[in-house]
Amino acid sequence: MSKPQPSSLKISELNWINRFAQLGDAFSTRLTATAVPNPQWMAFSSNLSHEMGLQDDWMHEPGVLDALSGNAVFKGSEPLASVYSGHQFGHWAGQLGDGRALCLGEVLTRVGPLEIQLKGAGPTPYSRRADGRAVLRSTVREFLCSEAMAGLGIPTTRALCMVSSPLPVYREELESAAVLTRVAPSFVRFGHFEHFASVQNKAALKTLAQFVLDLSQENLMKHTNLSALDGLSFEEKCLAFLELTAINYAKLMSQWQGVGFCHGVMNTDNMSILGLTIDYGPFQFMDAFDPQHICNHSDHEGRYRYAQQPQIAYWNLFCLGQAFASLIEDTDKIVKALSLFKTHLPLEIERVYQSKLGLLELSSAQQDKPDSSLAEGILQVLAQERVDYSIFWRKLSVAVGHYPLLARAAFDGVNELFLDARGFQLWLDGYLDRLKSENVEASAQRMLKSNPKFVLRNHLCEIAIQAAKAGDNSEIERLMKVLSSPFDEHPGFESFADHPPHWAQSLSISCSS
């Protein structure tokens, strides 16, 4: 592998290595994007640009706008659309694939190899009679949420930039097109493995497994406590990879639940093999806390409701395990590997809520009063009162910071969030008793770094979308400012952290894009 690229590079200077393209024709179809008329820059992620090592003005380099709108091809790029299958809403959907995404290839960056993909670049052989386009509305949502999740420290695919075009695209109504440039170490999904298992192509399945083993080598060595994986058989490496994937998803689910994030479409083809949040469709950061909240209006049975997300992740992991069954002779070993999700999930969730509550891990002498009971208790109160999830946790963080000076009166602002504060007051008695064993100032600082002031609420997205449709991208830029560092105060942006307006209750988010 070549060395990572230094900082301050032009995009044209990136070294393309295209490892997925080298897997063979069974995995993808080579093709170029379909051009759009009059492409215009809309938004950029300066954070991702810096992480990749790009120059601040990389977007002004000749030909870059054309290449990232699908109207030209970078030198060294090998564009392709990959094939995969999957379960959608619990049912086998058969062959799917990159129906409106085109992988330009893989480049070496300052943070290592990254795949660059255009979403909305036109039809592919996997578009299933669709147009292969993305509309401005959904593209703004994915651009903002990809970078919002990165700001929260949650594993995610990233969004480098966004291009608009007046090309008309019809969904429920006539809209305009947009193209998103998104970035990840890999866009391989559970569905890639399911595809080759379903067509009984064991050779391709083994090739794909080796590909992700190579991608994950460093993390696998950490997981197995080995300095090299050479001593393991291929089957042992696959089992270690399944273990690592199960643990990664236990961590990811705990992080989603901790910030009140609802994905909306946890189909197996929307599950990243690397444990990244991927495919931002009908997502939502909850306003009023409701464990049974369904953010996707296409999810008529509530399969992907907030409280169900960890269980769905486990179900999807077993679909992945079934796909690996032809590579691992003993299925009991697969079940054992994936069961690490169940053992790690409660530990990861408790760790998340300990941070949100500003608590350090309990000593063994205190295990008769686990912090999980405090977390469960306040979540029950929040659900009963339908209290705004993000605002509660941030106000609680601020209140703990004032507690040493103001005593119980520090929590008056939190009380105001409840119509009936008796349940909260009863819970607060136990919480303050627990805080006696903590350094309260340190607890408050920990909470402020764990409970974001800003999340990407649906109404904030909608305001930015409507402004962008009118040709004003300033709301996207303003949101990017706070979402890139959501734990900071950002004076002057308080309205972004306020309760949603009444009209936000009527917003309907579905799978349409």
pTM: 0.96
CB 353 within 8 A of CB 375: yes
Query: 3 pLDDT exceeds 70?
Result: no
State the Cα–Cα distance between residues 209 and 244, nearest whole angstrom: 14
Query: 6 pLDDT exceeds 80?
Result: no
- Report the catalytic residues: 269
State the Cα–Cα distance between residues 414 and 412, nearest whole angstrom: 5
Query: 101 pLDDT exceeds 70?
Result: yes
Looking at the DSSP assignment, which residues form a beta bridge with residue 479? none
pLDDT 10s digits, 244-301: 999 999 999 999 999 999 999 999 999 999 999 999 999 999 999 999 999 999 999 9
Nearest alpha carbon to residue 324 among 188, 205, 207: 205
Q: What pLDDT, on a 0 to 100 scale, did the predictor assign at position 371?
A: 82
List the structure tokens of 318.
Answer: 């077993």
Nearest alpha carbon to residue 164 among 132, 123, 135, 124: 135
Tell me how far apart the terminal alpha carbons of the chain are, to the nearest angstrom: 38
pLDDT 10s digits, 410-433: 999 999 999 999 999 999 999 999
Taking residues 335-343, what's their average pLDDT? 98
CB 93 within 8 A of CB 117: no
Q: What pLDDT, on a 0 to 100 scale, did the predictor assign at position 360?
A: 86
Query: 506 pLDDT exceeds 90?
Result: no
Amino acid at the residue 49: S
List the structure tokens of 59.
Answer: 């977007």
Q: What pLDDT, on a 0 to 100 scale, did the predictor assign at position 370?
A: 67
Burial of residue 494 (number of CB atoms within 10 Å: 0-12, 13-18, 19+): exposed
Q: Using DSSP bridges, classify how beta strands 261-262 and 85-88 pair: parallel, antiparallel or unpaired.
A: unpaired
Query: 4 pLDDT exceeds 60?
Result: no
pLDDT 10s digits, 364-409: 445 555 688 999 999 999 999 999 999 999 999 999 999 999 999 9
pLDDT 10s digits, 172-181: 899 999 999 9
Whole-number average pLDDT of the chain: 95
Instruction: State the DSSP H helix or E strand holding residue 211, giving kind and residue range, or none if neither.
Output: helix 202-215
Give one word for 83, left, alpha or beta, with left for phi > 0 and alpha for psi -120 to 50: beta
Q: What pLDDT, on a 0 to 100 scale, did the predictor assign at position 38?
A: 98
List the structure tokens of 19.
Answer: 């490892």
Is the C-alpha dihedral spanning 309, 311, 314, 315 positive or negative? negative
Query: 13 pLDDT exceeds 60?
Result: yes
pLDDT confidence tier of residue 215, bands split at 50, 70 and 90: very high
Taking residues 110-131, what's their average pLDDT? 96
Taking residues 4-16, what's their average pLDDT? 81
List the structure tokens of 181.
Answer: 């440039």
